[in-house]
Amino acid sequence: MSKFTSIAAALLWMASSSAMANDQIAEIEQNGINNSAEQTQRGVMLRSFIQQNGTVNNAIIEQSGLGSEAGQASIEQTGNLNSAAIYQVNGSRPGMASAEIYQEGTSNTATLEQHEYFGELASTATFYQEGTGNRIAARQTWVGNGLDVVSIGQDNVVETNQTGFSTAEVRQSGSANLLRLEQLSSGLGGGSAVIEQDGTANQADVQQRSGRYPAADVLLRQTGVANVAQIEARDGHSTLDYAQRGTGNRLDAYIAGHNSSLTGSSEGDYNTVITSQIGDDNSLAINQMGSYNEIEANQNFSAHEALISQTGNSNQAVLMQAEGLVSHSASIIQNGTGNVASVLQQ
């Protein structure tokens, strides 16, 4: 059984054994040099757990919950300069916060805030960091948040900020990977993203906004060295499912409107995709295999379809399907070296 599972089991046991009495429970265990811990709880049936092991660990849990299931937090740290903080605030109706941070090697820090003011089972978060110099900061406020981050390796940085119908899964492994994810919500909806980065110095910056409906489902995988993605999705049921494998590949995407999708992959080195889809029901499939290939696509109004495939090196494709009430469809297929294509439909 892993340490993480042990913590969860301990919390469950504590919760069940005290449910009849509505007890608040806090438990601290520290070994090593300069450990320090702080727990503050108010509300109903909160639990808390801190366990620290070597050198300068530091942990803070603060909970303030009024819901019948509000609370539960847990920090476990092992080895050297770890620091972790969980702050949870709950609402005035039954709700659930719950968070676990588990850190292992040197210089990990993690911070989380979970707010939630109207209850109805929101929040939950889970981090797990392993190697040196990892850092996570997350912030979730009300509606159906979740978050599950694993960051293994050196100097991985994850920063998130969620509200709305959010869930995010981030897995980073390797060195110097960076992710910033925001799933901003100004109305109902917003969220869902699974991003995995494996390798060195990969970077993803995802921003989703929301309106009445859930905003884009982003699923991005980056493997290799120095791959970069920036994605902004806006409102509606947009989908992006893209993978980058190799070195120095770059994806910029901006998708807005309902039911638009961008799918595909770039495999090789220094391939570039810059794209932008604005209206409803646009659909673009991309396949790049090789090096130094470039795609710039822009679809605008609604229901345009495109397929762009590049195999080889230094190929260039530009596609624009423009505004208007007429839907367009186009394919560009390039094989070899130094091919150039441009399509414009209005």
How far apart are the C-alpha atoms of 198 and 298, rounded to whole Å? Answer: 29
pLDDT of residue 188: 59
DSSP codes of every residue in 289-336: EEES-EEEEEEESSS-EEEEEEEEES-EEEEE--SSS---EEEEEEEE
pLDDT of residue 22: 56
Nearest to 206 by CA among 230, 226, 185: 230
DSSP codes of every residue in 197-232: EEEES-EEEEE---SSS---EEEEEEEEES-EEEEE
Q: Kindly list the distances between the CA atom of residue 148 and the CA atoms of 16, 95, 123, 266, 282, in Å, as whole numbers in the listed order.
A: 25, 19, 11, 26, 31
Block means of pLDDT (10 residues each) for the chain, 346 residues, are: 46 40 70 80 78 83 68 84 83 67 85 70 80 84 80 83 80 85 70 86 84 70 93 78 95 86 95 92 95 95 93 97 87 97 93
pTM of model > 0.95: no
Per DSSP, what are the bridge partners of residue 341?
Answer: 317
Q: Are 174 and 148 in contact (CB under 8 A)?
A: no
pLDDT of residue 69: 57
Q: Are 215 and 222 in contact (CB under 8 A)?
A: no
Q: Are 220 and 229 in contact (CB under 8 A)?
A: yes
pLDDT of residue 269: 97
How far apart are the C-alpha atoms of 337 and 250, rounded to whole Å? Answer: 19
Length of the chain (residues): 346
Q: What angle is formed at CA 344 by the lines to CA 228 and CA 220, rounded to 5 degrees?
A: 20
